[in-house]
Structure 1
Amino acid sequence: MASAASDGVKSVARVFDLLELIADAGGDVTLSELSAAADLPLPTIHRLLRTLVARGYARQLANRRYALGPRLVRLGEVANRKFGQVAMPQLKQLVERLGETANLATIDGDRVVYISQAPSPHAMRMFTEVGRRSHLHSTSVGKAILAQLDDDQVREIIARTGLPRDTERSIDTLDALLADLAVTRERGYAIDDNEQELGVRCYAMAVPDMPVLTAVSVSGPVARVDEAFAARAVPVLREVADEISALAMSA
């Protein structure tokens, strides 16, 4: 019985390993690529994939590659929503201390998805609908997430998505994006300066030690969110990011 249980746990671990490898590869991969990355025999991988496909957690494409399946979308949406609710006290703390809208976002494929928001009390404020998916390169949360990747991983994402411009201030060349991310890594936070929406400036910081790349941000009109605001906001963002990280690890 103990051996059977051990084999079962091993199979579960292998299934999750395969799903993460597919995600790491950008969402789809060949059987041989999985075999090389997972260091498992092809028959074992094929057997596990057949089960995943049958359950809707993976799918086989017309070109014989394997991709993540639609049933994972529901799991991810529910998990994001629940974690967003858990982190709401920290976002409200940001609003109370800084007076501007606070957001929590994670990476979702090649986009950033907003999973929670605490609105500013000001009549003129930044508003982003929870569940909205945006470009990584033109949002502060997206750039804080991209800065956690190496340049080759960033290049792979941009090769798939391109650099569409949300505003005339959006970054539209790979060299400019990589330079921006280098500065972001050095100073420890990202800035969206009129890049997603004209008249709005956002500051974001990565949430450390998260299972999924995550960032927290504070944003508002450029008239209020200036350099003096940044000097106050960055230490508070860092404190809140660490609190959210501790919350995730204790959950």
Structure 2
Amino acid sequence: MATVGTAPVNPSAPPTPPAQRRASPAETHLPPVQAHSTTLIGSVQRAMRLLEAVAAREYGAPAKQLAREVGLALPTAYHLLRTLTHEGYLRREKGLFFLGEAAERLSGAAAQQKRRSMVNEALAQWRDSIGVPVYYAVYREGEIEVRSVADSPACPAVAEWADFRETAHAHAIGQCLLSQLDEEARRDHLDRYPVQPITPYTVRDEQTLLRRLEGLGRMEPVIERQEYALGTVCAAIPLTVGATAAAVAISLPCRQADRLLPAARRLQAEAGRLLGTHALSISI
């Protein structure tokens, strides 16, 4: 028997579907959510759209304009804009919103990643076309940094058996970078990392090294034979853009020493073309 105020239940009747929430006018502007996107977080998507809208406005934009462009209710837009401002992704000046320091750091990091990716792709391309392992290094804050190496089982790189930072005098990369420094910076480096032989072929003293560096022709490949690793010959090409000293280098086993200079010349030509198109930035 049914209770008072309750309709009788018919067991054979299909269940009544739950009431559907009516979308707000602002939500009708948003793109439809795909069936496979059930794990996406709508508030994050809306915040990203607000950031994109602000980034597109060089001279800033007020909350009402941003809400209208993104298709958000104004209270929702205000809430997201305040949160993004609090976290440093936006800043507000005289009622207008601009990108903040946190967003600019993200942009800078993304640009840096893109440059690094371009450098890695270039090195891999040169490795495959020339048939040698290719190295990329810079001199930054008083230290030699090998930033990227492109090698393969057929073209293995030289194993770093002695710290590259401490043995600049003994390898082509280090000599090439030292040759690009001014006298004060060069002597500072050698004071911290004195010349010492690590193979029977390594330059024996600082004065001999300095004379060698001073005798290098501008933009000439730096050649080194077994001074860092026995059984290996290397060549490095200077790359100087602004105040940054950089180099690309190759290595070969001694039995292929006759290939070294032609391969270095080819690398120099290809690197020059890439730098000439501004497709490669060395500031990574």
| Inter-CA distance 204–123: structure 2 relative to 1 (3 Å threshold) | closer
Pick the aligned partner of 1:203 from 232, 235, 238.
Answer: 235
| SS at structure 2 position matched to 1:116 | strand
Pick the aligned partner of 1:136 from 147, 152, 168.
Answer: 168
How far apart are the structure 1 equivalents of 2:164 and 2:124? 20
Matches within 5 A, 1:144-223: 144-186=176-218, 188-223=220-255
| Inter-CA distance 241–113: structure 2 relative to 1 (3 Å threshold) | farther
Residue 229 of structure 1: how far off its partner (Å)? 3.3
Pick the aligned partner of 2:262 from 231, 236, 240.
Answer: 231
The answer to which structure has the higher helix fraction is: 1
Residue 124 of structure 1: how far off its partner (Å)? 5.7
How far apart are the structure 2 equivalents of 1:104 and 1:202? 13
Please state if 1:243 is matched with 2:274: yes
- Which sections of structure 1, spanning at least 5 residues, go unmatched? 1-77
Please state if 1:103 is matched with 2:120: no
Matches within 5 A, 1:6-85: 83-85=115-117
How far apart are the structure 2 equivalents of 1:183 and 1:175? 12
> For the pair shown, which has the larger CA radius of gyration, 1 or 2?
2
| Inter-CA distance 139–242: structure 2 relative to 1 (3 Å threshold) | farther
- 1:74-123 residue CA offsets vs partner (Å, 9 max, x unmatched): xxxx9987744330122122212221100001114444221101104526
How far apart are the structure 2 equivalents of 1:132 and 1:81? 24
Residue 218 of structure 1: how far off its partner (Å)? 0.8
Q: Structure 1-normalised TM-score?
A: 0.58
How far apart are the structure 2 equivalents of 1:171 and 1:111? 20
Q: Which amino acid aligns with 1:243?
A: L
How far apart are the structure 2 equivalents of 1:79 and 1:113? 20
Residue 198 of structure 1: how far off its partner (Å)? 0.7
8 Å CA contact 1:125, 1:221 repeated in 2: no
Percent sequence identity over matched residues?
22
| SS at structure 2 position matched to 1:85 | helix
| Inter-CA distance 144–238: structure 2 relative to 1 (3 Å threshold) | farther
Aligned residues, how many?
173
How far apart are the structure 1 equivalents of 2:113 and 2:229? 25
- 1:137-177 residue CA offsets vs partner (Å, 9 max, x unmatched): 11211111111123443223212221133322111312211
| SS at structure 2 position matched to 1:216 | strand
The CA RMSD over aligned residues, in Å, is: 3.4
How far apart are the structure 2 equivalents of 1:242 and 1:174? 35
Q: Structure 2-normalised TM-score?
A: 0.52
- 1:8-61 residue CA offsets vs partner (Å, 9 max, x unmatched): xxxxxxxxxxxxxxxxxxxxxxxxxxxxxxxxxxxxxxxxxxxxxxxxxxxxxx
